[in-house]
Amino acid sequence: MSPPLLSQIPSDNYSDSSVGIGLVRSSIELSKQTVESWNKVWGDVVNPSGALWAGLCNLGTTLAALSIIFLAVKMIADYQEKRFLWSELAASFIYPLVIAIFLGSNGYLLSQTVLVIRNIGHQQVVSVLNIQLADTTFKSAISNVTLTQNVKTQISTIYA
């Protein structure tokens, strides 16, 4: 079944490069669709009004409350043993305070921060890919491969 299918493929240089360019275009389109799908997933997961995000924020709030209770119990024990330092108290409340600020308003500030950091990372990846591909276009790369194959065929023919 596959020999008739293969015999229908023309073997000239133009067709080979057209097939290669078509494959590259298809892979670029697939890549764009994949990026759009991931962007949608990121938007759904980090949406402050979404159920998943609300659950994560509730979990974070619960853990923050438990850590504040643990901190208060520890500070009371230190106060009773005369090892209480006000500077230690202030330093201990910084992280729970930051967590409370990020989780306020159903985690809106946290979601925006996550999206900004993700976008910065995404832009860095895109810029690296653009630098790597700046000197070579897909069409010239496929043409060079096709020419190389033709030269190998001609050398093999002459050598034979």
Question: Can you give the pTM of this predicted structure?
Answer: 0.56
Does residue 116 lie in a domain region? yes
Does residue 147 lie in a domain region? yes
DSSP letter at 85 equals: -
Distance CA(114)–CA(106), nearest Å, equals 14
Average of per-residue pLDDT across 87-110: 83
**Is the pLDDT at 4 greater than 70, yes or no?**
no
Does residue 148 lie in a domain region? yes
Does residue 8 lie in a domain region? no
Does residue 84 lie in a domain region? yes
pLDDT of the residue at 56: 87
Name the more confident of 3 and 16.
Answer: 16
pLDDT of the residue at 117: 93
Strand (E) or helix (H) holding 152 = helix 138-159
Count of domains in the chain?
1
DSSP letter at 50 equals: S
SS3 112: helix
Does residue 76 lie in a domain region? yes
Does residue 9 lie in a domain region? no
By the 8 A CB rule, do 41 and 77 touch? Answer: no
Does residue 6 lie in a domain region? no
Specify the length of the chain in residues: 160
Distance CA(160)–CA(156), nearest Å, equals 6
Domain extent at residue 77: 28-159
